[in-house]
Structure 1
Amino acid sequence: MRPVTHLDAYRPTDDLSGVPGPPLPVLGDGWHARAADPDTRDLDLVHRWMQAPHVVAFWHQAWPRERWEEELRRQVSGRHSLPVLVSRGDDDPVIYLEVYRAARDVVARVYPARPHDLGLHVAVGELGMTDQGLVRRLLPVLTEALFDGDPRCTRVLLEPDVRNRRAIASFTAGGFEPVGEVLLPDKVALLMVRTR
Structure 2
Amino acid sequence: MSQQPSHLQDIGAPPIPPRVGEWRITVIEPGTDGVALVCDWMNRPHVAEPWDQAWPYERWAEEIARQAAGAHSRPCLASLDGEPVAYLELYRVLRDRLAPLYPYRPQDLGVHIAIGARENLGRGLGRALLRSVAVGLLETEPECTRVVAEPNVRNDASLRAFAAAGFVRAGEVTMPHKTAALMVYPRAQEDVPQW
TM-score, normalized by the shorter chain, greater than 0.5: yes
Number of matched pairs: 184
Matched ranges for 1:35-114 at <5 A: 35-90=27-82, 92-114=83-105
Matched ranges for 1:1-196 at <5 A: 15-90=7-82, 92-196=83-187
| 79-88 or 23-32, which deviates more | 23-32
Counterparts in 2 of 1:116 and 1:60: CA distance versus 1, 3 Å = same
Q: Deviations over 1:1-21 (max 9, x none)?
A: xxxxxxxxxxx8683111010
Distance 1:62 1:28 in 2: 29
Q: CA deviation at 1:145?
A: 1.0
Distance 1:187 1:28 in 2: 30
- Secondary structure at the counterpart of residue 75 of structure 2: strand
Distance 2:18 2:103 in 1: 27
Counterparts in 2 of 1:34 and 1:13: CA distance versus 1, 3 Å = closer
- Secondary structure at the counterpart of residue 17 of structure 2: coil
Q: CA deviation at 1:191?
A: 0.4
- Secondary structure at the counterpart of residue 129 of structure 2: helix
- Secondary structure at the counterpart of residue 42 of structure 1: helix
**Structure 2: where are the runs of 5+ without partners?**
188-195
Cα pair 1:14 1:115 within 8 Å, conserved: no
**Structure 1: where are the runs of 5+ without partners?**
1-11
RMSD in angstroms over aligned alpha carbons? 1.3
Counterparts in 2 of 1:44 and 1:100: CA distance versus 1, 3 Å = same
Distance 1:159 1:177 in 2: 11
Distance 1:146 1:45 in 2: 24
Q: CA deviation at 1:34?
A: 0.2
Cα pair 1:98 1:120 within 8 Å, conserved: yes
TM-score (norm 1): 0.90
- Secondary structure at the counterpart of residue 106 of structure 1: coil
Higher relative contact order (CA 8 A, sep 6+): 1
Distance 1:188 1:28 in 2: 30
Distance 2:33 2:113 in 1: 20
TM-score (norm 2): 0.90
Distance 2:35 2:6 in 1: 36
